[in-house]
Structure 1
Amino acid sequence: MPPRLSQEVRTWLHLHRVMATMNKRLTAQLASYNLTPAQFDVLAQLFRTPGLVQQALADRLLVTKGNIVGLLNRMEQAGLVMRQPHPDDGRAHLVSLTAHGTMLATQVVPEHEALIAECLAVLSPEDGHSLHDLLRRFKHALRSA
C-alpha cells in the first residue's frame, strides 16, 4: 500500500485542481471571443491602465521581453493593440488598445469577471472572505520566504 500523501501535498493538489477547473471554464469563455488567456491579460491590463510602457506591461503580466513582443505582434495584427514610441524615452514603446480592442475589452472583461464570481459563488460570503484572506497571507509568506 503506498504511503498516504501529507496534508500539505493534498492541499496543494486541491489548489491545483481548483485552478485547473476554473482555468478550463475561463479559457473556454475567452475562446468564444477568439482570445487566449495571455491576450485577455493584455486587454484587461490596458483597459484598466491605458498607455502602458511595454516593459511595464510585461512586468505586470510576469512575462519576458521576448514573450511580450510576440504577443503584442499578434495582437497588433489582429487590430487589438497599437504601439507608439514613448515621447520621453526613445528606447521605450507605449502600448494602447485600438478602438476595436477597447470595444472587445468593454464586453469581455466584465463577462470574465462575472464568470469568476459565478465560480466562487459556491462559497458562502464568509468562506469567500476567509479564503481570500488565507490566500493573501499565503502569497505574502511565500514572497518573504
Structure 2
Amino acid sequence: MSEENHEIIANEVDIEEGEPTITGSGARQDERLGVLIWFRISRIFNQSLRASNQHLKQWDLSAAQFDVLVQIGAHKRLTQQELADKLFVTKGNITQLLVKMEDLGLIKREQEWKKKWLSLTEQGWELYNDVVPKQETFQASHFAGLNREEKQQLLGLLRKIQKNNVED
C-alpha cells in the first residue's frame, strides 16, 4: 500500500461528515477510491458486528451463535461441513462454537451412517422463533436512512463487488 493510501486511511479515521478529496488521475485515483471504499465497508462491518453482539446479549447470544442458529434453523438440519460452507469458515473453526451451543441445549448432533447432522433442539427452536424476527428488524434498522431504491442499488453494487472478488 502506498504512502498516499496510508494517508487516506489515516484521514478517514477523523472524518465524520463528507469524504476526503481524492486527487490524482486514472488508475491511481481508482486505487485510492478503492482503498477508501474498502475502509468504509470494513468500518461499517465492525460497527455493525459490535452493535449486533450488544443487541444479542439480551438472549445471551453472540453474533456467531446467532449465525449458527439461523443457518441450522433455516435448513432444518445441516452437516458441520455444510454449516461451515454457509458461514465461510472451516469445519474446525466452528467446532468449539457448536460444543458450546450443544452444552447450552440449543443444538443436537445425530449420527446417520457416515454423516453427523446438526439440528435445533426444542429449546433452540424457541430461541430461534423469538430472536430471529427481532434481530432481523434490528439489522434492517441500520439502513433506515436509505429509501427502497437506494437499498436496491446498494445491494446490487455489493453483489457486483462480491462476484468480482470470488476466489476460485
Is TM (by shorter chain) over 0.5?
Answer: yes
Shift of 1:69: 2.1
Matched to 1:48, the amino acid is A
Q: Greater shift after overlay, 3-12 or 66-75? A: 3-12
Alpha-carbon distance in 2 for matches of 1:144, 1:100: 38
Describe the shift of the 1:144–1:71 C-alpha distance in structure 2 as closer, same or farther (beyond 3 A): closer
Is 2:58 the counterpart of 1:32?
A: yes
Q: Give the letter for the 1:53 counterpart.
A: T
For structure 1, which segment, 40-49 or 64-73, has the greater mean C-alpha deviation from structure 2 after superposition?
64-73
Mapped to 2, the partners of 1:57 and 1:7 lie a distance apart of 35
Measure the CA separation in 2 of the matches of 1:51 and 1:22: 28
- Higher CA-based Rg: 2
State which of 35, 40, 45 in structure 2 corresponds to 1:19. Answer: 45
1:95 maps to which residue? 118
Query: Which residue matches 2:160?
Result: 137
2:93 aligns with one of 58, 67, 73: 67
Cα distance in 1, alignment partners of residues 94 and 45 from structure 2 = 24
In structure 1, give the amino acid aligned to 2:75: T
- Which residue number corresponds to residue 78 of structure 2? 52
With the length of structure 2 as denominator, give the TM-score of the two structures: 0.78
Question: Deviation string for 1:82-138 (max 9, x for gaps)?
Answer: 00002xx32x20111000010001111111110111111111211111100000011
Q: Match of 1:110, as an amino acid?
A: P
Q: 1:122 to 1:98 in 2, by over 3 A?
A: same
Match of 1:78 among 90, 99, 104: 104
Structure with higher RCO (Cα < 8 A, 6+ apart) = 1
Specify every segment of 5 or more residues in structure 2 that has no aligned partner in the other structure, as ranges: 9-31
Give the fraction of aligned pairs with identical amino acids, expressed as a percent: 35
- Aligned mate of 1:122, from 145, 154, 166: 145
One-letter amino acid matched to 1:68: I
* Distance across 1 between alignment mates of 2:93 and 2:42: 24
Q: Distance in 1 between matches of 2:167 and 2:107?
A: 36
Which amino acid in the other structure matches residue 120 of structure 2?
Answer: L
Which residue of 122, 131, 144 maps to 1:108?
131
Number of matched pairs: 141
Q: Where has structure 1 moved over 4 Å in runs of 4 or more?
A: none
